[in-house]
Each structure stands twice: as C-alpha cells, then as structure tokens.
Amino acid sequence: MNSKQDSDKPEIILTGDRATGPLHLGHYVGSLKQRVALQAIHEQTILVADMQGLTDNAHNPKKVSSNILNVVADYLAVGINPSITTICLQSKLPALAELTMYYSNLVSISRLERNPTVKSEIQHKGFERSIPAGFLTYPISQAADITGFNATLVPVGDDQLPMLEQTNEIVRKVNSLAGRIVLNECRPLLSNASRLPSTDGKNKMSKSMDNAINLGATEKEISAAVKSMYTDPNHLRVEDSGNVEGNIVFTYLDAFHPDENYISQLKKHYQRGGLGDGTTKKILEECLQDMLRPIRVRRSEFLSDKAQLIDILIKGSQVSRDKTEKVLFDVKDIFGLNIF
Amino acid sequence: MNSKQDSDKPEIILTGDRATGPLHLGHYVGSLKQRVALQAIHEQTILVADMQGLTDNAHNPKKVSSNILNVVADYLAVGINPSITTICLQSKLPALAELTMYYSNLVSISRLERNPTVKSEIQHKGFERSIPAGFLTYPISQAADITGFNATLVPVGDDQLPMLEQTNEIVRKVNSLAGRIVLNECRPLLSNASRLPSTDGKNKMSKSMDNAINLGATEKEISAAVKSMYTDPNHLRVEDSGNVEGNIVFTYLDAFHPDENYISQLKKHYQRGGLGDGTTKKILEECLQDMLRPIRVRRSEFLSDKAQLIDILIKGSQVSRDKTEKVLFDVKDIFGLNIF
C-alpha cells in the first residue's frame, strides 16, 4: 500500500529543448507526446534552453533568438497546456547561471572530457581543441537546470544518460559538502518510442539537412518530404517483393498510423510483392496530413499572437525564478555565502 | 588642450581581491595604497571576489566565507572610503555569472589552456588534469567582472597582464558580433611598486606559509615576523660587511620607512660593516609597528561592528547590481535575447 502511494506521488519533471530550430516529428514521437501525457499527472516544467543553444551558435545567435517563440508555439500546438505545465526561458533565470558557476568548481575538466555524449557531439561538430568552453561545460549547466528545479524525473533518450550521471555526481558532491540532502538525485524517464529516423534514412534529423518534417510543415512540404522518402532501393517494380526493414515509409507508418492491424497487413502485402511505393507513400502522406493539419493550424494561430506567447513565457519564468532562487539560496548556504 | 581634457577624464576602475585570507603588507604595497590615491580621482569599484575564491576552495568554503568581512575591514582600515569607492560582493551580482555564461561560448578550451597566468597557477597548485572547470575558466569570469562594470582601467601586477589580454579578446569578439562598440577595452594600470617578498625570502606570501605580515597583525606577530626575517646568511659578525641585495629587512625598509636618506645611510653602514642585523631589525620593527598600529586599531573597530560592514557591502552591491545588469542587457541584446 505504501509503495502504491509512493509510485502515485507526483514527480518533479524538468525537460526542455534547445531553441535552435522549430520542432519536428522526431521531437513529437520522442518527447512531446509523452509530455502531454505527463503534465496531467506530474509537476512538469519545460525549459526553453536559449543559453544552451548558444553554446555552439554564439556566432549565429539569430538561430536561437528567432526560434524561441516557434518552440513555444510548437508546445502549445501539440497540446502542452501552460496552465498545468510551466514553460520558461532559461536566460530569464539567473539562478541557473549562478548554480553553474558554483558547480563548475566541483567538476574537473578531465571528467567533462570523458562525457560520452559531449565526446560524440564534439566529434560530430568537428570542434577538436577549438571547442568553446561553454560547450565543453554544458553538462554542468544542464545539471544546474535539473537541480535548479530539484527535479526527480528527467525524460531523456538513452544517449543522454551520461548527462544525468554527471548531474547526480554533482548532487552527491553538494550533499556531501552540506552533510545532508539538499538536492535530489534525479532518475531518467526513458521513452519507449524508438528514435524516429530522418526522411533520408541516413543522417540525424535537422533543418539544415532538409530531412525532417517540422510540426508546422505546410501541406506541400509534407507531400514533398514523403515523396522523397527512402524506401527499399531493390524494390524496383511493383510486382517485386519489398523490404520493410529500414524502409522509412513503414517506420513512419508504424510511428504515426492509428491502425496497427492495417499496417501489419500492408507490410505483408509489400513483402510478397504487388504493392508499389507510390501507394504506401500515399497512405503515409494522408496519415501525416491528417495528423499535422490541426497542429499546423493551431501553431499558426499561436504564432499570430506573439504577445500571448511572450506572456506565457513571462508567467512561467516568474514561477521558475522563484523556484530556482530558492535552490540557489540553499546551495549558497553550503558555501556560507548568505551573509546578507 | 583636448588631450589634456582626455587625460583628466575620470577612468572607470575595477579592482578587487579573492576573499581567501586577510590582506597583508604585500597587498598594501602592491595595490591598497594605490587604491586609496585613485579613489579621489577616478570612479573606483572594489569587488570582493568570493566566487573566484571558491574556484580552488570549493571543498573548504569556510576559507572564503570567513574572510569576506575581514577583507572589507582591511579596506576601510587602510583608508578606502566607501562613500567614494564602491565595495561590492561578487556573489551578489548575478549578472556577472550570466555574462560568464555568454562569454564562455566565445573562448575555446585551448585558448584557456594557453593562458600563462593560469598555466603557472595550475602547476603551482599541482592540479594537472584534475583542474576544476571553474578554475580553468576563471579568466572568463574575470572578464565578466571587468566588462560588467565597463572598466577602462584595471590595476594589476605584470603577472596578471595575460588576464587583461583575455578580457580584451572577449571585448573585441562581443563588439564584432554587435557591429558596434558595446564594451570598453581596458588598459592595465601597472603598479610601480615592485612585488614585496615574503618574510622568508623564498615563497609567495601566504597565510598557510606563515611568511606574511597581515594588516591586522598583533604587536607580537609583527615582532616575531621581523625577528625571523631573512637577511644576509654570510653576515655572521657585526663587524662583517653585509649584503643589502636580497636582504628582506632592507627590502621592507625601502618599502615602508618614510625617510629615504636615512635608509640610504643605513645601507652604506651595513655594507661597510659594523651594523648588526639586530639593529636593522629593530629599526624595521619600530617602523612597521608605527605604521600598522593605527591600521590594526581601526580594523578591529570595524570588525567589532559587523552590521556596518555588511551594510557597506549591501549598498555597494546594490549600486553594482544596477551597473552590471545594464551591461548584461546590452550583451543579451546582441544575442537577441531581450524579448521580454
């Protein structure tokens, strides 16, 4: 009975996105759908991470600033409800920068360099030794974000698990310095959805690669994206048997089509031959158009009233400012710095 | 005439100390005396750098917190006047932490590792690769301190010049991003006093080495420190000729004795023989006792009224908060982040 009560206890959830582009179907499957469900049960905060977005975009800051409100509109369009989910802007929470400074003294450079997530990102971005200090140290800033809200549960992909390990290491150091529990260790909430591949089936989804379908994509963009989608390169004639594994059209149908049985039949038909890619793409396009039409309409309505979006961020950031200042106070107390 | 006016224009001076111990005679000669003179002419802010003090003391934070008010009392005791010099506490200025975050994206890790000052400090402290991130990146935080006040003149020892180079590099990057001058480049104000050696003549002055005379030293401590002072190891008998070079007693007499001619005569006497170390030490002790007595008394009076010291920090930090927030606003503007 006790354990039942415990598992029913609302968690403090901190999640968010770098504001470096509009959100796409990968975000929808990987996190947004989950957040819509979580907000009803838990205390959820979504951080629009503009400062983190700048860690590798300082010389192109418009990429960040121009996307802040797009991301908020994306949230609202998919059903994030700002009256139960707090949506806030990272750069409006100075306590997070201050916590980052204090935590930086507890983490060594070599520890940061061992972080597998950062390591692979550095390689991917071709930074080598010219890596900006802010980029190498962003796991510390992320620890400040998570602990600044004293989050207990953080939704992540499994590639982000090293970030939570780093956060919990800092938490343990802070608690050990304090001689008592000041900060919560957080647990990961792994999404059971597998990562949605890009439409070209090769690279990570990104706007610059033109291989992602944004939540605000127009009818034409959706149509073009589906038409260009990677299928089975050996499926040359309609009567040939085709491969559904690695066939992006079927991966997307699995992720988005509401009728599982129908897709299962469709796969069998494709495998035995007689089903053309034109037909499967038509089915997928119809499904995506139906799903994205209302999202696009709502998104565009929200974006037509920027004052309302800003108001949501102001209110969310005010609530978050109070929460994070409280944690900062507790951490500064450990260092004996609350002398006035 | 114009250039005359320009050179008369008050400078914005930012200076400060890590709050990791009470200040000593080295600080007095190297910076405090100069600050007392500068405060009459320029707009001077002194930052008590508690956060910087933690970059290598996070596991011993009391070393910082217990010294904040000591350092303020030291300032007042030597004649820093809080009604014309702003005295503020670094941890009370969140804009400095925020500026540090933004600047971190403009400085590479390899650039930080090339900083000669940090390099030698890392060696000195035996950090190697276990160097805390906050320590390697403290030149960025120092750039935030300097630019946060838009300082034009920074009093430094020549070992600190690489810090100002780093700051000005950041200033140029920020101005280049803005396409206009947002931040001032700063110039160093080199002290013409040479660095005061420690009483043992070997190591850097530090409390832990017990080789420094603090401004608040008691009569006994001063006496003991002078008695143990390094002189000329080959000057065995009074009648022997002695060496004044590297003789710490004479170095201190040069730095502190008001009568230059008298010291010049004394040196000649010592060099030709017939003047014992006991006598020179007695002269130095009398000089230091006379100089430090009123400082010690004032320092102890100030420390007996901690509320007053805190009040000075509160007022100075409030003024500084407004100044640094304004600079932060300008920098965030460049990144397009002032959307509300």
Q: Kindly report, residue by residue over A257-302, the tens digit of the pLDDT.
A: 999 999 999 999 999 999 999 999 999 999 999 999 999 999 999 9
What's phi and psi for A46, nearest 5 deg? Answer: -110, 125
Percent of chain A having pLDDT more than 90? 87
Contact A339 B68 (CB under 8 A): yes
pLDDT given at position A9: 80
Chain B residue with minimum CA distance to A176: B59
Residues of chain B with C-beta less than 8 angstroms from the C-beta of A55: 104-105
Query: Which of helix, strand or coil describes residue A122?
Result: helix
pLDDT tens profile B258-289:
999 999 999 999 999 999 999 999 999 999 99
pLDDT given at position A7: 58
Does B214 reside within a domain?
A: no
Mean of the per-residue pLDDT values for chain B? 94
Mean of the per-residue pLDDT values for chain A? 94
d(CA B38, CA B44): 7
d(CA A212, CA A288): 13
Report the interhelical angle of A277-303 vs A68-78 (nearest 10°).
110
Contact A95 B91 (CB under 8 A): no
CATH of the domain at A44: 3.40.50.620
d(CA A264, CA A250): 10
Predicted complex ipTM: 0.94
Same domain, B248 and B166: no
pLDDT of A2 > 50? The answer is no
pLDDT of B110 > 70? The answer is yes
Contact B137 A104 (CB under 8 A): yes
Residues of chain A with C-beta less than 8 angstroms from the C-beta of B136: 109, 133
pLDDT given at position B130: 86
What's the whole-number mean pLDDT along residues B317-327? Answer: 98
pLDDT tens profile B187-242:
999 987 778 999 988 877 876 678 999 999 999 999 999 999 999 999 999 999 99
pLDDT given at position A287: 98
pLDDT given at position B207: 66
Tokens encoding A95: 């306590």
CA distance B317 to chain A (A): 11
pLDDT of A329 > 60? The answer is yes
Does A14 reside within a domain?
A: yes
Residue with more model confidence, A21 or B208: A21
3-class DSSP string for chain B: CHHHHHHHCCCEEEEEEECCCCCEHHHHHHHHHHHHHHCCCCEEEEEEEHHHHHCCCCCCCHHHHCCHHHHHHHHHHHCCCCCCEEEEEHHHCHHHHHHHHHHHCCCEHHHHHHCHHHHHHHHHHCCHHHCEHHHHCHHHHHHHHHHHCCCCEEEECHHHHHHHHHHHHHHHHHHHHHCCCCCCCCEEEECCCCCCCCCCCCCCCCCCCCCCCECCCCHHHHHHHHHCCCCCCCCCCCCCCCCCCCCHHHHHHHHHCCCHHHHHHHHHHHHHCCCCHHHHHHHHHHHHHHHHHHHHHHHHHHHCCHHHHHHHHHHHHHHHHHHHHHHHHHHHHHCCCCCC
Residues of chain B with C-beta less than 8 angstroms from the C-beta of A64: 335-337
Same domain, A259 and A329: no
CATH of the domain at B266: 1.10.240.10
pLDDT of A185 > 80? The answer is yes
Nearest to B133 among A109, A334, A335 (CB): A109
Same domain, A61 and A91: yes
d(CA A77, CA A70): 10
What's the whole-number mean pLDDT along residues A331-339? Answer: 97
pLDDT given at position A128: 66
pLDDT given at position B4: 38
Least confident of A311-320, B118-127, B146-155: B118-127
What's the whole-number mean pLDDT along residues A93-102? Answer: 98
Same domain, B326 and B280: no
Contact B335 A140 (CB under 8 A): no
pLDDT of B321 > 90? The answer is yes
Chain A residue with minimum CA distance to B332: A91
CA distance A136 to chain B (A): 8
Note down the domain range covering A119. 2-196+306-334
pLDDT tens profile B160-185:
999 999 999 999 999 999 999 999 99
What's the whole-number mean pLDDT along residues A217-246? Answer: 95
Chain B residue with minimum CA distance to A59: B177
Does A314 reside within a domain?
A: yes
Same domain, B148 and B47: yes
CA-based nearest residue to B327, from B84, B169, B144: B144
* Domain count within chain B: 2
CA distance B271 to chain A (A): 51
Q: Are A215 and A296 in contact (CB under 8 A)?
A: yes
Same domain, A132 and A20: yes
CA distance B113 to chain A (A): 10
Nearest to A133 among B104, B177, B336 (CB): B104
pLDDT of A28 > 70? The answer is yes
pLDDT given at position A129: 64
Residues of chain A with C-beta less than 8 angstroms from the C-beta of B94: 94-95, 97-98
Least confident of B11-25, B52-66, B117-131, B250-264: B117-131
Tokens encoding A240: 């040939």
CA distance B55 to chain A (A): 5
pLDDT tens profile A130-144:
899 999 999 999 999
pLDDT of A78 > 50? The answer is yes
CA-based nearest residue to B189, from B235, B145, B157, B142: B157
Chain A residue with minimum CA distance to B106: A132
Query: Which of helix, strand or coil describes residue A13?
Result: strand
pLDDT given at position A3: 34
Does B251 reside within a domain?
A: yes
Same domain, A13 and A109: yes
What's the whole-number mean pLDDT along residues B27-34? Answer: 94
CA-based nearest residue to B205, from B337, B29, B2, B41: B29
Same domain, B53 and B168: yes
CA-based nearest residue to B149, from B103, B95, B187, B105: B95
pLDDT of A158 > 90? The answer is no
pLDDT tens profile A236-266:
999 999 999 999 999 999 999 999 999 999 9
Does A207 reside within a domain?
A: no
pLDDT given at position A193: 78
Contact B132 A335 (CB under 8 A): no
pLDDT of A161 > 80? The answer is yes
Same domain, A75 and A133: yes
Same domain, A166 and A31: yes
Chain B residue with minimum CA distance to A107: B132
pLDDT given at position B159: 87
Contact B106 A132 (CB under 8 A): yes
Would the CA dihedral through B145, B150, B151, B152 be positive or negative?
positive
Residues of chain B with C-beta less than 8 angstroms from the C-beta of A109: 109, 129, 131-133, 136
pLDDT tens profile A100-136:
999 999 999 999 999 999 988 888 888 766 899 999 9
Cβ of A281: how many Cβ atoms within 10 Å?
19
pLDDT tens profile B115-149:
999 988 888 888 766 899 999 999 999 999 999 99
Does B169 reside within a domain?
A: yes
pLDDT given at position A207: 67
Q: In what order do the strands lie in the sheet with B12-18?
A: B85-89, B43-49, B12-18, B153-156, B187-190
d(CA B233, CA B212): 20
Contact A107 B133 (CB under 8 A): yes
pLDDT given at position B2: 36
Contact A106 B132 (CB under 8 A): yes
Size of interface A-B (CB pairs under 8 A): 162
Q: Are A80 and A160 in contact (CB under 8 A)?
A: no
pLDDT of A5 > 80? The answer is no
pLDDT given at position B128: 66
Chain B residue with minimum CA distance to A325: B94
Residues of chain A with C-beta less than 8 angstroms from the C-beta of B97: 94, 97-98, 100-101
Same domain, B240 and B146: no
Does A83 reside within a domain?
A: yes
Does A228 reside within a domain?
A: yes
Same domain, A89 and A41: yes
Contact A110 B129 (CB under 8 A): yes
